[in-house]
Structure 1
Amino acid sequence: MASFAHGFPFDPAHGHTLDELLRVPAPTAPEDFEAFWQERYSEARAVATAPEIGPAEGERDGVRLHEVSFTSVGGVRLGGWLALPVEGPAEHGFVIGHGYGGRHNPGAEVPLPLPRSAAILPCVRGMGSRGLWPGIPSRAARHVLHGIGSRDTYVIGDCVADLWCAASALQELLPELRGLGALGYVGESFGGGLGALALPWDERFGAAQLTVPTFGNHPLRLTLRCSGSGESVRAHHRDHPGVTDVLRYFDAATAAARLELPTFVAAALFDPAVPPPGQFAVHNALPGPRELLVLGAGHFAYEGSAAELAELRTRRRRFFGEWLGR
């Protein structure tokens, strides 16, 4: 059981040992869970994403960074960054999700998981400097509640579609990255949860890495205090208990139970923003090849975090090299 000195009015480990976390299950899916997501995926694949590349914004770690924009479901035009190899063609392609603070620059997501790679780093609707959209809140506490009254209007479903459309835009810009299993996905926190929801239905991806993924095991999350977006959902649930019927369709652990591609999960024992039981529920549900890195903490500065981050990057390179290398 992880323990750190902290000022939170609750236990960010929620009293769980590692053995207990490794037994947290995924909730039972609604009968039409798969049909719901397959229909959403088909709608996203039908979108003409019309990607456009802007001028180069700099070079670092073997890639040249460009502004990029593309169209997603509902005609929403989104932006982000495109990373292209400085020399030679791209041999690997990645879609890289972001956390619930949005994305304002590529930050630590470059260098990419493998050399000679290209990547699209999209800002999903409502988030980051290039994802702002009228009517969609940009603050996580409000964004996570947008449209939550119905599974058909909940913004999380549209954010998943934004990732699918980002993959379409990347493959349109770089036809050499087309094909089944040609892409890798990397996502942390919010991006990790979105990835778990997006990947079971999309055969364009061959491997994924999810760090401290959110949205895992909503019934359990609703009982656990946190400092992240889940606390807004908990407060909303107290006044609108029927929202549990909507959340069943957006459970990252339920989706992970259908995620058969190789997946590397980094889950934390202590995390004030994303309760650890939900993170481990995502890992535990995976039926395909899986790998786990247990972190001391997530969303929290602590001694030893730099060494764990270095280990995460090393293992990520090895993982994608094994499953995507060619």
Structure 2
Amino acid sequence: MSLFDLPLDELRGYRSRSTEPEDFDQFWAETLAETRGHELAARFEPVPTALTALDVFDVTFAGFGGHPVKGWLILPAGTSEPLPVVVEYLGYGGGRGLPHTHLLWGAAGFAHFVMDTRGQGSGWGGGATPDPVGNASAYPGFLTRGIEDPYAFYYRRLFADAVRAVEAARAHPLVDASRTAALGISQGGGITLAVGGLVPDLTAIAPDVPFLCDFPRATTLTDRNPYREVGNYLKTYRDRTRNVRRTLSYFDGVHFASRGRAPALFSVALEDQTCPPSTVFGAFNAYAGKDKSIEVYDFNDHEGGGPFQQAAQLAWLPGKLTA
């Protein structure tokens, strides 16, 4: 594979042309007020495992619509004082899986909250959270579910769940709510950007090769799913492009980035044809926080930095959460 997007020097100055809706803030304020109209009702049930160095809790909390959302809370074994917490969001098609697949942040001495993704999990990992909301016609996948109306769009529910996940994590007595980080890879990175724009008091965020950014460019630049799902939908519904573009504008990571203030560590891969590098730089360059940096992986596709990016996060995040 070769480079297919802009050269790196142009990427560093690239600005997205995504147009922000005039009622963007009102839309999200209404969405979160509606979601918070349901009691959070966070429950943490101990789970017996063979992980002697970690304590695991099966979490249930009320997300969008009051719908039950699952998660894991993983703590260093025997924790007795509140710890900073890392809230993690998952990639496209994946679910929370089994606890032993989430060892990194607990092993590093942090509380680790993994949010399950409603309706997903059959692609990998295994999920435990259904999405009870029905929609009109959609192309297979998640990106076009309800895509002609921002109020019906799938990611409205998911982003609201993600904000509630932060609130659920902070509700546990062994979590220090004043030290909260959010991170994720791909779809999880896009969700992280949304949460960074919607939760003003996060301590840090780390969006890794983020999806859901710069929709106008992404949906016309790459032939890969998930972005290609939008083009395939519009191949059939040829008169609905305007409605689709309007909906996506409420969920573009570029607009959430312009509201983010927490220290941020991004990553991008220059051969990434799933989340093209210009779309990642579109969000990074729009990010409003002054303390921001980006790791660039020159010869990688959507795997990004993989363990190298985890090492970068392990070197960077403790200084933000323990300061």
Q: TM-score range by the shorter chain?
A: 0.7 to 0.9
1:31 alignment partner AA = E
Which of structure 1's runs of 4+ aligned residues deviate more than 6 A?
Answer: none
Q: Secondary structure at the match of 2:311?
A: helix
Tell me if structure 1 keeps the 8 A contact 2:204–2:317: yes
Structure 2 counterpart of 1:7:
none
CA distance in 1, matches of 2:274, 2:310: 22
CA distance in 2, matches of 1:245, 1:184: 30
CA distance in 1, matches of 2:255, 2:110: 31
Structure 2 counterpart of 1:177:
176
What is the Cα-based RMSD across aligned positions, in Å? 2.5
Structure 2 counterpart of 1:81:
72
Q: CA distance change for structure 1 residues 185 and 235 in 2, over 3 Å: closer, same or farther?
A: same
Structure 1 counterpart of 2:12:
22
Tell me if structure 1 keeps the 8 A contact 2:106–2:112: no
CA distance in 1, matches of 2:58, 2:177: 21
Q: How many Å apart are 1:61 and its aligned residue?
A: 8.8
Q: CA distance change for structure 1 residues 110 and 141 in 2, over 3 Å: closer, same or farther?
A: farther
- Number of equivalences: 307
Structure 2 counterpart of 1:10:
none
- Equivalent residues in 2 for 1:1-326, closer than 5 Å: 3=1, 13-26=3-16, 27-58=18-49, 60=51, 62-88=53-79, 89-103=81-95, 104-106=97-99, 109-112=102-105, 115-128=108-121, 129-134=127-132, 141-174=140-173, 176-179=175-178, 182-238=179-235, 239=238, 240-242=240-242, 243-288=244-289, 289-295=291-297, 296-300=299-303, 308-326=305-323
Tell me if structure 2 keeps the 8 A contact 1:257–1:287: yes
Q: How many Å apart are 1:170 and its aligned residue?
A: 1.4
Tell me if structure 2 keeps the 8 A contact 1:65–1:83: yes
2:47 alignment partner AA = A
Q: CA distance change for structure 1 residues 259 and 107 in 2, over 3 Å: closer, same or farther?
A: farther
Which whole-Å deviations, capped at 9, do the CAs of 1:152-187 have from their partners, x for residues lacking one? 1111011011111111111222364234xx210011
Q: CA distance change for structure 1 residues 175 and 112 in 2, over 3 Å: closer, same or farther?
A: closer
Tell me if structure 1 keeps the 8 A contact 2:197–2:257: yes
Give the TM-score of the pair, scaled to structure 1: 0.85
Question: Which moved further from structure 2: 253-262 or 125-134?
Answer: 125-134
Question: Which moved further from structure 2: 79-88 or 14-23?
Answer: 14-23
Q: Secondary structure at the match of 1:198?
A: helix
CA distance in 2, matches of 1:267, 1:61: 35
Percent of residue pairs identical: 24
Q: Secondary structure at the match of 1:92?
A: strand
CA distance in 2, matches of 1:162, 1:33: 18
Which whole-Å deviations, capped at 9, do the CAs of 1:241-293 have from their partners, x for residues lacking one? 12111111111112111111111001110123222221221111112110110
Q: Secondary structure at the match of 2:104?
A: coil
CA distance in 1, matches of 2:202, 2:76: 20
Q: Secondary structure at the match of 1:58?
A: coil
Q: CA distance change for structure 1 residues 127 and 57 in 2, over 3 Å: closer, same or farther?
A: farther
CA distance in 2, matches of 1:140, 1:278: 22
CA distance in 2, matches of 1:190, 1:253: 14
Q: CA distance change for structure 1 residues 291 and 61 in 2, over 3 Å: closer, same or farther?
A: farther
Unaligned runs of 5+ in 2: 122-126
Q: CA distance change for structure 1 residues 49 and 71 in 2, over 3 Å: closer, same or farther?
A: same
Q: How many Å apart are 1:195 and its aligned residue?
A: 1.5
CA distance in 2, matches of 1:185, 1:59: 27
Give the TM-score of the pair, scaled to structure 2: 0.86
Question: Which moved further from structure 2: 103-112 or 92-101?
Answer: 103-112
Unaligned runs of 5+ in 1: 5-12
Q: CA distance change for structure 1 residues 322 and 45 in 2, over 3 Å: closer, same or farther?
A: farther
Tell me if structure 2 keeps the 8 A contact 1:47–1:165: no
CA distance in 1, matches of 2:107, 2:316: 10
CA distance in 2, matches of 1:190, 1:61: 31
Q: How many Å apart are 1:19 and its aligned residue?
A: 1.5
Q: Secondary structure at the match of 1:319?
A: helix
Q: Secondary structure at the match of 1:162?
A: helix
Tell me if structure 2 keeps the 8 A contact 1:92–1:114: no
Tell me if structure 1 keeps the 8 A contact 2:73–2:112: yes
